[in-house]
């Protein structure tokens, strides 16, 4: 404190000089138009330079945040580009792809295209593993198809993978019918030939012809009506009520590569209402 006081006493002449200089400048600026204009212009220029410098410093310290945002946007754009490239490849390789997309939009369905990363066809209990899961909005009881027809139904899903119960599994049961009408039956596989399934519970009063197309019935939230399954290979009367119908499947399970998982946006609402009313598939 004593040092500060000694400094002020020692420099009092300098401070008095600076004070008088400032007072003089104020008087000159306030009482002379030219000097006032020059001062205002100069002060604006100085303030502008200060603001510019301050903005530059602020931008410099914000570069990390800006770079993080740019990296995030680049990642999102790469993901979007990847999706668009995949869809373009599907359209090029699969002439049916866009038709399925349009059909899905008409029926309030959407497709989640996935890659088959593991599958079997030579076992009694066959399964298919896909490279997408709950993070991609895939959940159990979603239908799975490919360019040729029905593949199966999602049985479980983790965050990044899902397992499909294909037609080639005795636990699989898909509601199907003869195209152009008829009662819905159950499509099942009893083992053996990977290209042949059985359509059960079709009543005898409905006419069946060899070569008839078998499609999904639409009697559930899993598949829309009219998705191809196969053709009638052989049929006969099983008993007094129903046919025994062999169906040659369109899908070649040994050649599966990409599939479409069907998402019905109103599925939960329909299921909740049906369960409330005691209705079951």
Given a cut of 70, whether residue 242 has pLDDT beyond it is: yes
109 — pLDDT class (breaks 50, 70, 90): confident
247 — pLDDT class (breaks 50, 70, 90): very high
pLDDT at 97: 65
36 DSSP assignment: H
pTM (predicted TM-score): 0.62
34 — pLDDT class (breaks 50, 70, 90): low
> What value does the mean pLDDT take over residues 149-155?
95
Both ends of the chain: CA-CA distance in Å?
Answer: 92
Given a cut of 60, whether residue 219 has pLDDT beyond it is: yes
Cα(192)–Cα(22) distance, rounded to whole angstroms?
105
Given a cut of 70, whether residue 98 has pLDDT beyond it is: no
> What value does the mean pLDDT take over residues 248-274?
80
- Determine what percent of the chain is predicted with pLDDT higher than 70: 60
Cα(126)–Cα(247) distance, rounded to whole angstroms?
18
SS3 at position 28: helix
Given a cut of 70, whether residue 101 has pLDDT beyond it is: no
Question: Structural domains in the chain?
Answer: 2-61 (no CATH), 96-276 (2.40.10.340)
């Amino acid at each position: 404190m004593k040092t500060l006081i000694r400094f002020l006493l020692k420099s009092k002449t300098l401070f008095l000089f600076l004070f008088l200089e400032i007072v003089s400048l104020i008087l000159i600026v306030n009482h002379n138009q030219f000097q006032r204009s020059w001062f205002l212009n100069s002060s604006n220029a100085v303030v502008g330079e200060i603001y510019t410098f301050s903005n530059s410093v602020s931008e410099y310290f914000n570069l990390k945040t800006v770079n993080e945002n740019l990296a995030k946007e680049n990642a999102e754009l790469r993901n979007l580009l990847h999706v668009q490239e995949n869809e373009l490849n599907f359209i090029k390789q699969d002439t049916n792809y866009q038709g399925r997309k349009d059909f899905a939009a008409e029926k309030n369905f959407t497709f989640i295209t996935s890659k088959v990363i593991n599958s079997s066809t030579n076992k009694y209990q066959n399964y298919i593993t896909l490279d997408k899961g709950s993070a991609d909005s895939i959940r159990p009881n979603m239908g799975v198809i490919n360019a040729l027809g029905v593949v199966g139904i999602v049985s479980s899903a983790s965050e990044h993978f899902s397992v499909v119960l294909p037609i080639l599994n005795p636990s699989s049961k898909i509601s199907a019918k003869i195209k152009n009408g008829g009662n819905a039956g159950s499509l099942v596989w009893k083992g053996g030939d990977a290209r042949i399934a059985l359509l059960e519970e079709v009543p005898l009063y409905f006419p069946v012809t060899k070569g008839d197309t078998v499609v999904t019935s639409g009697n559930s939230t899993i598949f829309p009506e009219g998705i191809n399954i196969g053709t009638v290979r052989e049929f006969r009367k099983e008993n007094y009520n129903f046919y025994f119908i062999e169906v040659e499947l369109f899908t070649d399970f040994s050649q599966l590569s990409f599939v479409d998982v069907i998402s019905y946006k109103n599925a939960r609402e329909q299921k909740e209402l049906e369960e409330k009313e005691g209705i079951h598939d």
